[in-house]
Structure 1
Amino acid sequence: MEWLSSPETWIALLTLTALEIVLGIDNIIFISIIAGKLPANQQNRGRQVGLMMAMITRILLLFSLAWLARLTAPLFTVFSHEISGRDLILIAGGLFLLGKSTFEIHERLEGEEGHASQKVAASFSGVIIQIMLLDIVFSLDSVITAIGMVNEIAIMVAAVMIAVGIMLFASGPISSFVNDRPTLKILALSFLLLIGFSLVAD
């Protein structure tokens, strides 16, 4: 437990926490938009459950060090470009994000949001599953980065828990801010569209 008294430990904790928060901004935006399709009385719960499940997912990824290490190993080559398990996950996530963002933008531009919202609102679990799947994609790189920065798993877990705690506090105001401004919501969806494209292109 000597590492607890080391200044480097606390610097690493602060750095990782900041990294998790910065990389989690797009996650909060996505959660806000998806949870916004739930009935008003379920939206806050949807955001909270989504973020808590996201935290559990990230912690499980942290404890899967051997699996994560294998993810970066090349599986096959396409046009002289090595493709790893990580690449496949990011491509799949990017395609999903591209499709989802395009669909959401289309709904808002075509004025069919009300009809679609009723359809999605019937499935609270569907919203949570979408949040969890995308969080795996969003958190994969940050988890791999964390593993490269710190040796102590406890520091990584603590950073994730602190970051999610802050995001839980901030998700409500951010969600209200985004959902109350249609133009900003379109910009947020365009941002997610760009992220999806970058995930596929990367």
Structure 2
Amino acid sequence: MTDILALAGEPEAWAALVTLIIMEVVLGIDNLVFISILTNKLPEERRQAARRIGLGLALVLRLVLLGTVAWIVQLTEPLFSAFGHGFSWKDVILIAGGLFLVWKATREIHHNVDPQEHPGEMVGGAVKTGFTAAILQILLLDLVFSIDSIITAVGMTDHLPIMVIAVIVAVTLMLIASGPLARFIEANPTIVMLALSFLLMIGMTLIADGLGFHVPKGYVYAAMAFSGLVEALNMLARRKRRLDRAARGDDAGAPAAETRH
């Protein structure tokens, strides 16, 4: 407690805290998109519980990892070499997480493009999944993102209380935003495919990082922001067309599929 009070009087500590919170929130965008898509495949009455339990356990996981921060840092030490690159446990975890994301996103895209091939696996236009399976997948991906963010955080500050507060604030913000984001994705079918493409890109980025080819996060998030802006303009254009048809009185005769593109 004395250490926390001492840090509260240091401007450098506040600057580090704000920076870490922003970093944790930005890095959490990937995880939040995955959680939104995953929980939308559950029955509606269980989605909120899955998000709360998944993010709650993810918070506990991150705090536990922070408690072993000295061990986490050692994960960057080379474990073996192949193709001229020294692979650490961090690299192995990133590659495994990236492969999982690529597989998951590809599977979801396949089901969305051709849902008739697996009619028994669909519910509400999404691939069905179990409650426990959803929680486990949330924790699996959070483990991958947590190790990456904690190693980055250690390079920014040596104060554990600052890292703990930043993680708690970031996960709380993710919990608040998860519901509205999931509902927005469900209400706009075209967003689902865009979000899945984001997951595919993030998975490839994790694999590239694990193989030693660092892709600046700014490029990834800039691409995501640009794609989101284009889709927002498309949504506005579709809304205007619907309003124009309604004003002419021929909205009832418009193809129902147009609202899905």
TM-score scaled by structure 2? 0.74
C-alpha offsets along residues 110-169 of structure 1, whole Å, 9 cap, x if unaligned? 125763245844x21111000000111122211111111111111101111111111111
- Paired position in structure 1 for 2:169: 162
For the Cα contact (< 8 Å) 1:54–1:132, is it kept in 2?
Answer: yes
The CA distance in 2 between the partners of 1:50 and 1:106, in whole Å, is 25
Match of 1:130 among 134, 137, 154: 137
| Runs of 4+ in structure 1 over 6 Å off | none
Match of 2:102 among 98, 101, 112: 98
**Cα RMSD over matched residues?**
1.5
The CA distance in 2 between the partners of 1:176 and 1:192, in whole Å, is 18
Give the partner amino acid of 1:12: A
| Helix, strand or coil at the partner of 1:37 | coil
Paired residues for 1:4-19 under 5 Å:
4-19=8-23
C-alpha offsets along residues 89-120 of structure 1, whole Å, 9 cap, x if unaligned? 00000000000000001011012576324584
Structure 1 residues 83 and 70 mapped into 2: Cα distance closer, same or farther (>3 Å)? Answer: same
C-alpha displacement of 1:9:
1.2
- Paired position in structure 1 for 2:149: 142
For the Cα contact (< 8 Å) 1:38–1:117, is it kept in 2?
Answer: no
- Paired position in structure 2 for 1:193: 200
The CA distance in 2 between the partners of 1:50 and 1:17, in whole Å, is 20
C-alpha offsets along residues 67-90 of structure 1, whole Å, 9 cap, x if unaligned? 212210001111111100000000
- Paired position in structure 1 for 2:113: 109
TM-score scaled by structure 1? 0.94
For the Cα contact (< 8 Å) 1:104–1:189, is it kept in 2?
Answer: yes
For the Cα contact (< 8 Å) 1:62–1:157, is it kept in 2?
Answer: yes
For the Cα contact (< 8 Å) 1:57–1:136, is it kept in 2?
Answer: yes
Q: Percent identity?
A: 49
Match of 2:77 among 73, 77, 93: 73
- Paired position in structure 2 for 1:174: 181
For the Cα contact (< 8 Å) 2:115–2:122, is it kept in 1?
Answer: no
Task: Using CA pairs under 8 Å that are at least 6 residues apart, name the structure with larger relative contact order, 1 or 2.
Answer: 1
Structure 1 residues 99 and 128 mapped into 2: Cα distance closer, same or farther (>3 Å)? Answer: same
For the Cα contact (< 8 Å) 1:13–1:159, is it kept in 2?
Answer: yes
| Helix, strand or coil at the partner of 1:38 | coil
C-alpha offsets along residues 18-37 of structure 1, whole Å, 9 cap, x if unaligned? 11111101111100010111
The CA distance in 2 between the partners of 1:73 and 1:117, in whole Å, is 44
The CA distance in 1 between the partners of 2:189 and 2:172, in whole Å, is 27
For the Cα contact (< 8 Å) 2:109–2:193, is it kept in 1?
Answer: yes
Unaligned runs of 5+ in 1: none
- Paired position in structure 2 for 1:86: 90
**Highest Rg: 1 or 2?**
2
The CA distance in 2 between the partners of 1:9 and 1:40, in whole Å, is 42
| Helix, strand or coil at the partner of 2:55 | helix
